[in-house]
Amino acid sequence: MKIVAAKKILKANEQLAAENREKFDAAGIFGVNLVGSPGSGKTTLLEALFSRQGLAGRAAPAVIEGDIAGSIDAQRMDALGVPVVQINTEGACHLDASMIAAAVLNLDLQAVRLLVIENVGNLVCTAGFDLGERLRVVLLSVTEGDDKLVKYPAIFQGSHALVVTKIDLLPHTNFRVQRAVEDMKRLAPAAAIFQVAALRGEGIPALADWLVQRMEAR
Amino acid sequence: MKIVAAKKILKANEQLAAENREKFDAAGIFGVNLVGSPGSGKTTLLEALFSRQGLAGRAAPAVIEGDIAGSIDAQRMDALGVPVVQINTEGACHLDASMIAAAVLNLDLQAVRLLVIENVGNLVCTAGFDLGERLRVVLLSVTEGDDKLVKYPAIFQGSHALVVTKIDLLPHTNFRVQRAVEDMKRLAPAAAIFQVAALRGEGIPALADWLVQRMEAR
């Protein structure tokens, strides 16, 4: 039975994720797992978040980039001077806790307060794998359509915040913000909801403030 | 070893896909596997393709909709009067050949010439699973960014056509069509490349003509 093997993998991942979380807590590191579709704007959001109107000077960030192939996103973090480790999953549609445990060996954890893990672009596989983070933040771009919460409920259900991205493109789409907000409140009543246009910096200060609050409240 | 189990699953899928293909060929049905990110515009493309400027009167279509949950897309096909079967994968990030074999039992295959299978929104998992189609068509919306071919090469590599969608939003993005075209030619030299704005009908006649040609050439 293949189901047994899958459960074993998930169980092993849970244990490794708990170990990651303990390690991060002991080192005073706050982990954030950033998930969303391909092209939902994860890397662009990070670029905006690490700018002066975002977290610059407030968070000592480092990034783990998860991609099937390539290092385009890691290069973008490098260009900002943010310490970054690229994981190439070579086909796997999500990161897992063992990949994170291996990746952090390449970071100077003593210099890090905020560890953002940019997951593989995927609304499905990423939902099942705890990485040892304290927060999971899910992105949804208005260009993807407002039906995604109904179609991919698990990833939204388990997230602590929804960031609606590319809000500046709203006039060119049939995306209904109200519908997305209502669906998110149904799926994850306690989650925070933000609207951003990262390329313009809109909504970035509010998101950055919330992240700092959550880091300090831990 | 988990790898053995995974290989067994893939091998079983290959065999089932070949059986589906034989069945479709014998019935004179042309199968198309439509893949792309969540929100890349798969259902909206189908709505445009089944309109008068597209395939209406030329293809006798039916659709299989693959989604984790819900039946939003199937309802949209229903509204067009196109025969449709909804598959809910309940967590799985892609359709497989066994799901298709079960789904077609709910269709009157004698009345169908073109069977479009709209896969789960996913650029990763869908790449590994032949469904028994004759063509795989991958969508990439300009709002997703032009780096997706480099980051998710497998899904583009195995596709027979790239449809660049939401081309009307190009002025609002930093998407470089030329870069996407060049990357596609490198990954899949024989693939056809289309640019469409499905909500406006732009590019739909060319794509419809190409599909009809491919159906007739079989």
Average pLDDT, 10 consecutive residues per value, chain A (218 residues): 50 91 96 98 98 93 92 93 92 91 92 97 94 98 97 96 98 97 98 97 98 93
* % of chain A exceeding 70 in pLDDT: 96
Q: Encode A98-120: b = buried (16+ Cβ within 10 Å), e = exposed.
A: ebbbebbeebebeebbbbbbbbb
Q: A122 lies in a domain? A: yes
CA atoms of B70 and B121, how far apart (whole Å): 13
- Each residue's pLDDT, cut to its tens digit, for chain B (218 residues) gives 333 345 566 778 899 999 999 999 999 999 999 999 999 999 999 999 999 999 999 999 999 999 988 889 999 999 999 999 999 888 889 999 999 999 999 999 999 999 999 999 999 999 999 999 999 999 999 999 999 999 999 999 999 999 999 999 999 999 999 999 999 999 999 999 999 999 999 999 999 999 999 999 97
In the numeric block, the tokens 């933040």 are attached to A137
Give A111-130 as a DSSP string.
G-SEEEEE--S-SSGGGG--
Note whether residue B1 is domain-resident: no
CATH of the domain at B140: 3.40.50.300
Supply the pTM of this predicted model. 0.85
Contact across the interface for B67 and A151, Cβ inside 8 Å: yes
Contact B69 A150 (CB under 8 A): yes
Of B72, B125, B145, nearest to A93 by CB-CB distance is B125
Three-state secondary-structure class, residue A62: strand
Among A3, A13, A35, A122, the strongest candidate for a mutation testing the B interface, having the largest count of B CBs within 10 A, is A122
Element (H, E) at B163: strand B161-165
Asked, for residue A58, whether it belongs to a domain, the answer is yes
A210: in domain: yes
Question: What is the pLDDT, as a whole number, of residue B8?
Answer: 64
Distance from CA of B132 to the nearest CA of A (A): 22
Is B2 near chain A, with CB under 8 Å? yes
C-alpha Rg value of chain A to the nearest Å:
17
Q: Which of chain B's residues have a Cβ under 8 Å away from the Cβ of A39? A: 37, 141, 143-145, 148
- How far does the CA of residue B93 sit from the closest CA of chain A (Å)? 6
B70: left (phi over 0), alpha (psi -120 to 50) or beta: left
Q: What is the pLDDT of residues B43-61, one digit of tens each?
A: 999 999 999 999 999 999 9
Paired strand residues for B87: B66
* Residue A4 in domain: no
Contacts of A68 in chain B (CB under 8 A): 124, 151-154
CB contact under 8 A, A151 and B38: yes
Total tally of structural domains belonging to chain B: 1
HSE toward the beta carbon, residue B76, CA cutoff 13 A: 19
* Packing angle, helices B42-49 and B72-80, rounded to 10: 10
ipTM over 0.90: no
Query: Within a domain: residue B120?
Result: yes
User: Which residues on B lie below 8 Å from A151 (Cβ)?
Assistant: 38, 67-70, 72, 121
B145 touches chain A (CB under 8 A): yes
Q: pLDDT by residue (tens digit) across B112-132?
A: 999 999 999 999 999 999 999
Residue B147 belongs to what domain range?
A: 11-216
The answer to the question of residue A47 being in a domain is yes
Whether A159 is in a domain gets the answer: yes
On whether any CB of chain A is under 8 Å from the CB of B157, the answer is no
Given 3-state DSSP classes, what are the helix, strand and coil percentages for chain A, each rounded to the nearest 5?
50, 20, 35
Residues of A in contact with B69 (CB under 8 A): 150-153
Given a contact cutoff of 8 angstroms between Cβ atoms, the answer to whether B133 and B30 are in contact is: no
